[in-house]
Amino acid sequence: MKVALITGVTGQDGAYLAEFLLKKGYFVHGLKRRSSSFNTDRIDHLYQDQHEKDVHFKLHYGDLTDSTNLIRIIQETQPDEIYNLAAMSHVHVSFEMPEYTANADGIGTLRLLEAIRILGLTEKTKIYQASTSELYGLVQAVPQSETTPFYPRSPYAVAKMYAYWITVNYREAYKMFACNGILFNHESPLRGETFVTRKITRAAAKISLGLQNCLYLGNLSAQRDWGHAKDYIEAMWLILQQEKPEDYVIATGVTTTVREFVRMSFAELGIEIEFSGKDEYEKGVIIDIDEELADKLGVKTEFLKPGMTVVRVDSKYFRPTEVDLLLGDPTKSKTQLGWNPKYDLRALVKDMALADLQLMKKDEFLKQGGFKTLNYFE
Ligand code: NDP
Ligand code: GDR
**Residue type for 307, please?**
G
The helix (H) or strand (E) run that includes residue 236 is helix 229-240
Q: Provide the whole-model pTM.
A: 0.97
Looking at residue 235, its pLDDT comes to 98
Looking at residue 234, its pLDDT comes to 98
149: Cβ–Cβ under 8 A, 6 or more apart, which residues?
A: 140, 141
| 194 C-alpha to ligand 1 centroid (Å) | 13
Can you tell me the distance from the alpha carbon of 354 to that of 360, in angstroms, rounded to the nearest whole number?
10
Looking at residue 26, its pLDDT comes to 98
| 78 C-alpha to ligand 2 centroid (Å) | 35
What ligand 1 atom has the least distance to the C-alpha of 62? 20
Looking at residue 378, its pLDDT comes to 61
Can you tell me the distance from the alpha carbon of 123 to that of 177, in angstroms, rounded to the nearest whole number?
8
Nearest ligand to the CA of 134 is 2
Closest CA to 254 of 321, 191, 137, 347: 347
Closest CA to 215 of 193, 198, 205, 200: 200
Which residue numbers in the chain have pLDDT < 70? Answer: 375-378
Looking at residue 376, its pLDDT comes to 63
Residues with CB under 6 A from ligand 2: 89, 91-92, 132-134, 184-185, 194-197, 199, 217-219, 222, 224, 258, 317, 319, 322-323
Looking at residue 49, its pLDDT comes to 87
The per-type count for the chain, helices as H runs and strands as E runs, is: 12, 15
What ligand 2 atom has the least distance to the C-alpha of 318? 26
Looking at residue 73, its pLDDT comes to 98
Q: What are 9-26's pLDDT values in tens digits?
A: 999 999 999 999 999 999
Nearest ligand to the CA of 313 is 2
ipTM for the assembly:
0.99
**What does residue 191 show for φ and ψ, rounded to 5 degrees?**
-60, 140
Give the catalytic positions in this structure: 132, 134, 156
Looking at residue 334, its pLDDT comes to 98
Burial class (CB in 10 A: 0-12, 13-18, 19+), 26: buried
**Helix %, strand %, coil % for the chain, to 5?**
45, 20, 40
Residues linked to residue 179 through DSSP beta bridges, in sequence order: 128
